[in-house]
Structures are given as C-alpha cells and as structure tokens.
Homo-oligomer: A and B are copies of this chain.
C-alpha cells in the first residue's frame, strides 16, 4: 500500500488566509516530518506562491479552469498555479462544482503541466464518472457532512466502501480519498481500512486552536 496522504484545504477561512496560513503550513510540515505521513496543503490562490516558496510541503490549488492562457479575466490557469509553485489542484469541490466538460479539460490541462489532480465527488456514481476521466485521486465527500462534527467515516462508511469499489471497477490507477467531517485519528484509520489512500479535510485543522495537535491526533493510528 502507498503511504497515506492527508490534504488540508484552507478554503478561504479567516484562519487559513494570508499570513495565518503559515501556521497551518508549518504545522503540516512538522507533523509530516515527525510521522512520515504525507501531507499537502491547499491555500487560497493568493497564498500559493508564498506558501510554495517558504515551506517544504506539496501545495495544491483549490480549483483550476481547464483553459489555455489567454483572454480570460479572473480565471485560474494550470500555467499560473504551476508557476506559483503548486504541485497539484483540487477540482470540483462541493463549494466549487464545475461542468463535466470543464472537469475533463481541467484534468487534461493539469496533466500537461505535471500537476496532480484530486477530484471531489458526492457519491459513488459521480466517483465512478470522475475516475473515468483519469485523475490522480477521487475524493468522495457527502456534502451534508462537510464542515460538520461527524465524519464520513463514522456517519456513512458505506459511501466510502462503494466509492472505492466503483473507482476500482473503472480504473485501478485512480486512488481514493475520503472527506467531510474528518477530525480524529480514528476517522482516518476507518477511511484507510475501507480502502482509501488518505483523507481530505479542512475546518478541523484550519480552525483549530492548535493545528499541530490535531494533525498529530490524525496520524496517531497509522
């Protein structure tokens, strides 16, 4: 099995934007070094360059538009996030859904720029469809659990199991993450036991008083 991956989505939480993102990045870097668990951070677009250059941690964008460079005011190109230092991107997060055609174009643009892709989905049917597009990861996140205190591992392990099976049926090369409400080492362990390669989380770390302590708990059962 691969080394599990923990991806921290800063969203645009006050606690994870601008200089405050540094505390999250530093905690992730420290706990990754201590534990040997792979960690990545997805800060706001405006923080990508700074975080990429000041920390030794894979940095992801939160979204990407699958368009070529050109006359697209206010859009996010693979070229732009790559030149800012990103190693990958989230795509189709429940807070930033994109069309099927745009998703396919974004995965293609990411590959051309050697960017890893994590496609967020809401159930096993969309997980299968996303897998057919050949991303690196599919991250299944039941929208009703995102940001809550009960994790997908606890509330709906079956959706994880079904998504892992659905993705493997489509393509053995696509890995699966679980997301929504992940907040403890037990949540992470359940997700891995169900066949995932890691977790995608946000508020439990980003809004924590002590992000490093939460991260240490998250890796404690691995």
A residues apposed to B, CB below 8 Å:
9, 11-14, 17-19, 42, 44-50, 62-63, 67, 69-77, 79-81, 83-84, 90, 92-104, 108, 121-123, 125-126, 128-134, 146-147, 166, 170, 202-203
CB of A84 within 8 A of CB of B46, answer yes
**Number of identical protomers:** 4
Distance A46 CA – B76 CA, assembled complex (angstroms): 8
Q: Which residues of B contact A9 (CB under 8 A)?
A: 73
Q: Top 5 closest A-B pairs, CB basis?
A: A18-B83, A63-B74, A74-B96, A97-B99, A46-B84
Distance A127 CA – B86 CA, assembled complex (angstroms): 30
CB of A95 within 8 A of CB of B77, answer no
CB of A73 within 8 A of CB of B49, answer no
- Also in contact, A69 and B129, with CB within 8 A (given A46-B80, A93-B74, A100-B103): no
- Also in contact, A79 and B17, with CB within 8 A (given A73-B95, A123-B104, A132-B125): yes
Distance A152 CA – B18 CA, assembled complex (angstroms): 38
CB of A13 within 8 A of CB of B70, answer yes
